[in-house]
Amino acid sequence: MNGASGELRRVEDTLANLPAPVRLILFIQTFECDTCPAARRILNEVARLSPQITVDEYNLVLDREKASEFGIERVPALAFVGKADTGIRFYGVPEGYELASLIDAIRLTAAGQADLLPESQALVASVDRPMHVQVFVTPT
């Protein structure tokens, strides 16, 4: 119980100090998506913790233009938009350990700064063509 409330406190502290607005673009669909309601619930709970966070919800089936704009093909999906689209997407329900990743992505989106080591920063800046990095994770 203490662990869970400690985690919640860290989440609240991080979200209470966001330096800039973050838009979370959630894509769901009404049918054949068992996990979409859970994704929506978690996002709305997180958004309540900061006035800087807004959640825009779209339906993958009905809002095809929006899905295409963000390159979304499966749900639940989440796109992170700060001053511009960050190119970060989450697929699935961000719960368990993945909740920490969600908060991290929100914090980075608001900050707009990567905080990489200087040598990493230079390497990353050298990527001059589109690149897609997929990271497979599990919540437990």
Partner 1 sequence: MSLALRMAIANPNIKVSIVEATEFPELVRRYQISGVPKTVVDDRVEILGALPEEMFVPQVVQAASDA
Positions touching partner 1 (CB under 8 A) are 35, 71, 74, 84, 86-94, 98, 101, 104-105, 108-109, 111-117, 119-121, 123-139
Closer Cβ to partner 1, 1 or 133, answer by number: 133
In DSSP terms, 80 is beta-bridged to 24
Closest contact distance (angstroms) between CB of 126 and partner 1 is 7
Closest contact distance (angstroms) between CB of 107 and partner 1 is 9
Closest contact distance (angstroms) between CB of 1 and partner 1 is 26
| 54: three-class secondary structure by DSSP | strand
| Virtual torsion, Cα 73, 78, 83, 86, nearest 10 deg | -60
Q: How many CB atoms lie within 10 A of CB 49?
A: 18
Closer Cβ to partner 1, 2 or 126, answer by number: 126
Residue 101 corresponds to which tokens in the numbers above?
């990743």
Q: Is 95 left (phi over 0), alpha (psi -120 to 50) or beta?
A: beta
User: Do the Cβ atoms of 30 and 1 come closer than 8 Å?
Assistant: no
Closer Cβ to partner 1, 2 or 113, answer by number: 113
Closest contact distance (angstroms) between CB of 47 and partner 1 is 18
